[in-house]
Amino acid sequence: MINIKNMEDKLLSTQQAGDIMGISRIAVYNQVKKGQLPSIRLGKNYYIRENDLTSGCLTSSISKKEEQKIDKAVSKVVKDYGETLRLLGNV
């Protein structure tokens, strides 16, 4: 949970945060429950400060090893399907 010191920050619902992050509201809720995403609980609902999404606080939730694994996977996809991806980009 985050401290409510600066209420000038815009609060986003889990649905709004998910829309911004490109993930489902359930995925946002799971990140909140795991402590990966700071939140404020008001009643039954969780809210995320907009600044927490834009300040890069989410980048700390991925380990260096996971980051390397993702980079390796992306490189493989580009190597194997690069031409197809380029053609799709031109459509």
The model scores a pTM over 0.85: no
Taking domain 1-55, whether its CATH number is 3.40.140 is answered by no
Per-residue pLDDT, averaged over 27-43, amounts to 91
Instruction: Tell me the percentage of the chain whose pLDDT exceeds 90.
Output: 47
| Residue matched to tokens 């053609």 | 87
pLDDT band at 65 (very low <50, low <70, confident <90, very high): confident
DSSP characters over 14-77: HHHHHHHHTS-HHHHHHHHHHTSS--EEETTEEEEEHHHHHTTGGGGGS-HHHHHHHHHHHHHH
Domain boundaries, the chain: 1-55, 62-91
Q: Which residue has the higher pLDDT, 82 or 5?
A: 82
